[in-house]
Amino acid sequence: MREPAFLKRNKEKWQAIEKKLQQVEGIGPDERAEIFVELTDDLSYARTFYPTSNTTKYLNGLAVKMHQAIYKTKKERSSRVWDFWKVELPTLFYNYQKELLWAAILFFASIFVGALSTVYDDTFIRLILGDAYVNMTLENIESGDPLAVYKSSSSGNMFLRITLNNIMVSFWAFVLGIFLSVGTAVVIFRNGVMVGSFFTFFFKKGLATTSLLGVFIHGAFELSAIVIAGCAGFVIGNSILFPGTYSRLHSFKRGAKDALKIIIGLIPVFVIAGFLESFVTRHYQSSWLLNLTIIVVSFAIMIYYFILYPIQLNQVNTNYAEREN
């Protein structure tokens, strides 16, 4: 059976299941088990004939939700926050791998644009970062402390200011996705150009290692979070552009809800990034080995939780569904 025919045949049934899942408390245990069996049948068929399609991802998400509904107890309801971080958020990242990939590609492309522009135009860095910042940095380089800007205020004030700023950047990347993803793309591009210009400026001064080992103490979390916030914005934009089997309004509501969860999931990341930037980065000259360790561990956490763990979780859920089937 072709995928469009498969979708047409089962669309109403899946939409009815989605509505029931919104009021899962009203579904009896027998009905939950029956729905779960139907979903695993459909998921098994989809994985066989359309293994890489959005239909398969969609059915996998429904099966996971129903599986949770079957085995949920009163004790587990009190651990709603834990379930969000352990299952719900990683499942979203598995379902939106494509949006995350495009956000990363755009971010790296914009970094390249910023770097190339700074290499061939000495005035570009002033256009992007401003004369005051560039002049201050040049003075810091002359004094032997290139990243002294991270010591310019008290740690506490810096932490609050930076964390709130990072949250606002992610918020705009998320909200501007409503403009068919264009607004989100602009936010990602702007930040990527700034990053590319910033590092190239230090590279041209012979301070590549110093800047990388200093800035990425907090940048591993901060820059990764910008890409993930961009993913949230693309989720909203794509929900409008590509509604699939849903009405455009219903698709938008689903996309906005999922994107908001992604942004909420980023708040701890920005808090950690703000803490590192305010309390740790200012000591970047203490030990290059410590800096490198923090950077490697930070990237490992981000890559595992937002990329590898969702894939592992999906595989576990799929294997379970196939055993049940």
**Which carries the bigger pLDDT value, residue 136 or residue 69?**
136
Residue 52 Cα to chain centre, angstroms:
21
| Confidence label for 299 from pLDDT (cuts 50, 70 and 90) | very high
Residue 320 has pLDDT above 70, yes or no: no
User: What are the residues whose beta carbons fall under 8 Å from the beta carbon of 106, sequence distance 6 or more?
Assistant: 185, 188, 189, 192, 230
Query: Is the CB of residue 233 less than 8 Å from the CB of residue 184?
Result: yes
What is residue 243's predicted lDDT score, i.e. its pLDDT? 87
pLDDT of residue 175: 92
Can you give the pLDDT at residue 60? 85
Give the pLDDT band of residue 18 (cuts 50, 70, 90).
confident
Percent of the chain at pLDDT exceeding 90: 65
Q: Is the pLDDT of residue 25 over 70?
A: no
Confidence at 228, pLDDT banded by 50, 70, 90: very high
Tokens of 206: 């012979």
Mean pLDDT of the chain: 89
Q: Give burial (CB, 10 Å; 0-12/13-18/19+) of 222.
A: buried
Quickly state the pLDDT bin for 47 (edges 50, 70, 90). confident
Query: H helices within the chain, ranges in order?
Result: 3-22, 29-49, 54-71, 74-77, 80-83, 89-95, 97-120, 124-129, 131-142, 155-175, 182-204, 208-241, 248-275, 288-303, 309-324
How many C-alpha atoms does 269 have within 13 Å on its Cβ side? 27
Q: What is the pLDDT of residues 72-88, one digit of tens each?
A: 544 445 467 888 999 99
Q: What does the pLDDT read at residue 67?
A: 76
Report the Cα–Cα distance between both ends of the chain, in Å, rounded. Answer: 20
pTM of the predicted protein model? 0.76
Token pair 């506490």 in the structure block, residue: 156
